Structure 1
Amino acid sequence: MHIDLNRHSGITLTEQIRTAVADRIQSGLLQEGEKLPSVRNLSKLLDVSLMTVFHAYELLEQEGLIDRIQGKGSFILGKSTRFKNRPNQKEAEKPSMDWQNTVADYLPRAQYWRMMQSPLVDVAKLSMAALHSSLIPTEWITKQFFLHAQLDHSLLTEYGPVQGDSKLRDAVLPYFREKNIVAGPNEIMILNGSQQGIDLVASTFVGPGDVVVLEEPAYPCTIDVLRRRGATIFTIPIDEEGMQVDHLAALCDTRPPKLIYTNPTFQNPTGTVMSARRRAQLLELAQSYNAIILEDDATSDLYFGSAPPPPAIKSMDRHGHVIYLKGISKFISPGCRIGFLIADGTFMTRLVSSKGISDLGSPLITQKAILPFFTSNQLQKHLPVLREKLKERRNLVLQILNRMAPKGVRWTKPDGGLNIWMTLPHAMNADDLHTFALQEGISFLPGHVCFPAQQQYHHLRLSFSYLDIHTLESSLITLCRLLQGFTQSDRHSERIMHI
């Protein structure tokens, strides 16, 4: 089992080992019943003391994630077997594949993969921050696919340019100018979704030990990418104005970051908006310390008031510190897998080279199908309707929570985006609540996946965009009833949380 240990991070080696193993378990990379390396073997592999590994395993057992059996070893507990004493006889009779755990991989966690697993197929997905099919112009997009495939067969027979179709890059310039982002077509790259942009920036600029700053809580897939790169991750808490930049300034004095990741507008998972004042302060800090800001702008088009949110940080950038990401998944179509990256100077050259290594270029057919969105008035017609429908869903969720949520439960009231962040009383465990919710046919995102370290288990994210409005209503009512019963029982105290 490969675990990157940073002996200069200020986090104990015991905690780093505990976090690494817990992340693998909660991501599903370590499966129920698998045997962990022995204390002796792992201590030798990681070059740490026996007691360091012993205490890490002890903490994992206290959390109900593993079961240590005297004379046999330490085994992964799934949700169905936590707090039970042994693997059952049927599992014990399976041919052993424990040798595979001696083969090192470099996947510290993979939370999105875990969220998309088959148990969620027939579940009402309050966990999914995506649009319901009725909110996507599928018929219009389908016609574009069919038309372009008929007109130009080369779209299916040739590789596209690595940087993306030149006509699409030209067509989106007015869209970005409306956001006060002035860029030429050579400063834009087309991606297979903005998630690829996060991965490209990380693989190009972040290496083992590099200091990276995230908001806390943070978009879980970004944590996955940066942990895989071996980055030293520091987190900055969020308040009603977004990232607390004064905390970041204090960190920069001792550990100046190479990269600062921010999702400043309707932040995922909390829905908060970074104020214009803090955006300017964040850019000033990046300039002072020669840091890169990776600005992930997923949902700024989905505002519910009459005025849009503050301009992007990129709109203020004059020295090339900001790499800007814009995906269309949250407001046009997730299935098309189209995103845009804007960068200046040599950053773009390096990122295009990285993309060429990664995928040889994005599919041309999807780029051509999306092109008319930006060359006609289709986007201007689509967005106001989408905003109103999402606002209706958000209002419905808030009304139900205000009426039915138990005392002590708090939640955000976002002015846009797709998500509501809920905070339970500190003693409650949202991961355990999720187990009971699945039994009722409901899923949400347990909040612990949004914390790269020192995980907090009393939060959860509700997405109000993926379900049809009737299923959304019934699911929220069921969840509130479940919360009522959960808070009144002692089920939430079964697991001893390590926070």
Structure 2
Amino acid sequence: MNEKYYIKFKDNDIPKYIQIYQYFKKNIDRGIINEGDKLPTIRQLSKDLAVNKITIINAYNRLEEEGYLYQKMGSGTYARRKNSLKMIKKQYSETFKNLNRQKLKNYIDFTGETISNSFFPVDIFRKILNDVLKRDGIDALTYQDFLGFEGLRKSIIRYFWQSRFKKDDVLIVSGAQQGIDIIAKGLINNNDNIVVEKPTYSGALAVFNWKKTNIFEIEVEPDGMNLESLEYLLRKKKIRFIYLMTYFQNPTTVTYGIDKKLKLLELAQKYEFYIIEDDYLSELIYDESIEYRSLKSLDRYDKVIYIKSFSKLFLPGIRLGYVIVPDKFKESIENAKINSDISTSSLMQRALELYLNTGHWVKHMEFLKSEYNLRYNYMKKQLYEKLNDFIEFCEPGGGLNFFIKLKENVNISSMELFQKCKANKVLITPGGLFYKDYTEGNKFFRISFSQTDNESISTGITVIYNILSQSIK
């Protein structure tokens, strides 16, 4: 047996599985067992320590619950420094806490997830607000229906769903993040088995971790989640929910193919799980070969919980979105929403309703699609021309981001790249933020063109080039 894992049991009342747990915890904290070290199999450690397998399983389960180890399907069990991901998140978030709006202007910001404020039609929206106040008076400023303003719910059904649903099927929320939060509060229990894409949106990971769920990751392929791996997992585990993004997935920018969507729905019916579909940036399709058909629109079995945010493309400060859930979950979700905040801003809901009904939404989306298509193509060109020797990426054909993989000849982690870029007034998003095990994101980073014009894109990519060219093995 490797001496690193030699455990001398104490002759006392402390159960052996607790002593094993304490041994590994202490040595991982001290760095004697390093981040990413492969731990013995249950069978091997059971044999080496002369204890039964249940003892090892109980010890490993406790370590996993507390964040000291993680499983790789088909590969083994690995050590994790408990606070390593928290440290990365803290370093990343503190960057933006310390940069007020004025200071941020001195940086090239490739981290944005929402449209540039310069594109928001302030004059039109000011008139919309005045028209709402003239039309609705004091009602525009008071709490009313907890489901959301009826006029907005009717407009959503009419404009986005061709009246397939009823107004009472729609629940207005304060953006996609609140949608995920109330789904977790209303439907998800501790120790539920949840599947997410690998990698995935860090805000969803945070919610599922907060609920103490068992999170399983399935690799993302060029057309969506690997369904063979998913079905293998479904045969072994009772999965309750799958969280995914069908268009320009965050962070990989992958879009699901129609065949994969249909297969997912069949699997949901066969294995009795539900899909949480976060419809992310689907308005920004630049590649004409990409067809918009949400999972919810294809759902014959009522297995999809649909989340849509208006904040990413309208104005982040307005904080509006909506949720459509299967009939069996309506009451639980509505109660969770009431317990969260009772009601979303009445004035903003009415303003969005009028914005939709007067045709401004369609015009604004056409404008954004045109403007961001130009930026998308410019950033893509810059990546190929300047960074082709150092990186790989898939062309998303839409959205606001590129997800970049560093080639093997580049000797730098994405967190180190983040720090060096920040020192040169460029902000990127390190890939570790999107993985349950942050080390799997060491070779990835995300860059966005949402807040940058062509000049900033060119300058920022040049900074990244200079750093990577000095990091070749």
TM range (shorter): 0.7 to 0.9
SS in 2 for 1:246: helix
CA distance in 2, matches of 1:60, 1:258: 37
> How many Å apart are 1:388 and its aligned residue?
1.6
SS in 2 for 1:208: coil
> How many Å apart are 1:330 and its aligned residue?
2.4
> Unmatched 5+ residue regions in structure 1?
1-13, 15-42, 65-106, 489-499
> How many Å apart are 1:63 and its aligned residue?
6.1
For the 8 Å contact 2:111–2:446, the answer to whether it is kept is: yes
AA partner of residue 246 (structure 2): P
TM-score by length of 2: 0.79
- Choose the corresponding residue for 1:117, options 91, 97, 105: 97
Q: Work out whether 1:290 is the aligned partner of 2:275.
A: no
Q: Work out whether 1:211 is the aligned partner of 2:211.
A: no
SS in 2 for 1:284: helix
CA distance in 2, matches of 1:108, 1:431: 11
Aligned position for 1:7? none
SS in 2 for 1:487: coil
Q: Work out whether 1:130 is the aligned partner of 2:118.
A: no
CA distance in 2, matches of 1:115, 1:366: 31
> How many Å apart are 1:454 and its aligned residue?
5.8
CA distance in 2, matches of 1:157, 1:174: 25
> How many Å apart are 1:308 and its aligned residue?
4.8
For the 8 Å contact 1:265–1:309, the answer to whether it is kept is: no
For the 8 Å contact 1:109–1:224, the answer to whether it is kept is: no
CA distance in 2, matches of 1:193, 1:270: 21
> How many Å apart are 1:273 and its aligned residue?
0.7
Aligned position for 1:312? 294
CA distance in 1, matches of 2:34, 2:244: 34
Aligned position for 1:57? 29
CA distance in 1, matches of 2:32, 2:446: 25
Mapping 1:33-432, distance limit 5 Å: 49-59=21-31, 116-119=96-99, 121-122=103-104, 123-149=107-133, 151-155=135-139, 157-177=141-161, 182-306=164-288, 308-405=290-387, 407-426=389-408, 427-432=411-416
CA distance in 2, matches of 1:309, 1:329: 23
Q: What is the aligned length?
A: 402
> How many Å apart are 1:359 and its aligned residue?
0.3
**Identity in percent:** 24
AA partner of residue 466 (structure 1): Q
AA partner of residue 400 (structure 1): Q
For the 8 Å contact 2:89–2:433, the answer to whether it is kept is: no
For the 8 Å contact 1:302–1:416, the answer to whether it is kept is: yes
SS in 1 for 2:395: coil
AA partner of residue 294 (structure 2): A
- Choose the corresponding residue for 1:467, options 445, 448, 452: 452
CA distance in 1, matches of 2:454, 2:337: 39
Q: C-alpha offsets along residues 365-393 of structure 1, whole Å, 9 cap, x if unaligned?
A: 11011112321221221222211211111
CA distance in 2, matches of 1:109, 1:141: 39
For the 8 Å contact 1:141–1:370, the answer to whether it is kept is: no
AA partner of residue 225 (structure 1): V
For the 8 Å contact 1:444–1:461, the answer to whether it is kept is: yes
> How many Å apart are 1:147 and its aligned residue?
3.6
Change (3 A) 1:108 1:289: farther
AA partner of residue 145 (structure 2): P
CA distance in 2, matches of 1:115, 1:150: 43
Change (3 A) 1:430 1:229: same
Q: C-alpha offsets along residues 116-135 of structure 1, whole Å, 9 cap, x if unaligned?
A: 42247523220111111222
Change (3 A) 1:325 1:47: farther
For the 8 Å contact 1:204–1:351, the answer to whether it is kept is: yes
Greater Cα offset, 469-478 or 258-267: 469-478
> Unmatched 5+ residue regions in structure 2?
6-14, 37-85
AA partner of residue 458 (structure 1): K
AA partner of residue 409 (structure 1): I
SS in 2 for 1:462: strand
> How many Å apart are 1:195 and its aligned residue?
0.9
Q: Comparing both structures, which one devotes a greater share of its residues to helix?
A: 2
- Choose the corresponding residue for 1:481, options 448, 452, 466: 466
Change (3 A) 1:126 1:379: same
> How many Å apart are 1:299 and its aligned residue?
0.9
CA distance in 2, matches of 1:418, 1:487: 29
For the 8 Å contact 1:393–1:469, the answer to whether it is kept is: yes
> How many Å apart are 1:208 and its aligned residue?
1.6
Change (3 A) 1:313 1:284: same
CA distance in 1, matches of 2:210, 2:139: 34
> How many Å apart are 1:276 and its aligned residue?
0.4
TM-score by length of 1: 0.75
> How many Å apart are 1:307 and its aligned residue?
5.3
Q: C-alpha offsets along residues 78-107 of structure 1, whole Å, 9 cap, x if unaligned?
A: xxxxxxxxxxxxxxxxxxxxxxxxxxxxx9
CA distance in 2, matches of 1:303, 1:232: 34
CA distance in 2, matches of 1:47, 1:351: 42
Aligned position for 1:71? none
> How many Å apart are 1:320 and its aligned residue?
1.8
CA distance in 2, matches of 1:307, 1:368: 35
> How many Å apart are 1:303 and its aligned residue?
0.1
CA distance in 2, matches of 1:47, 1:125: 48
> How many Å apart are 1:115 and its aligned residue?
6.4
CA distance in 1, matches of 2:216, 2:227: 13
> How many Å apart are 1:146 and its aligned residue?
3.7
CA distance in 1, matches of 2:89, 2:273: 27
> How many Å apart are 1:487 and its aligned residue?
3.2
AA partner of residue 422 (structure 2): L
CA distance in 1, matches of 2:32, 2:180: 31
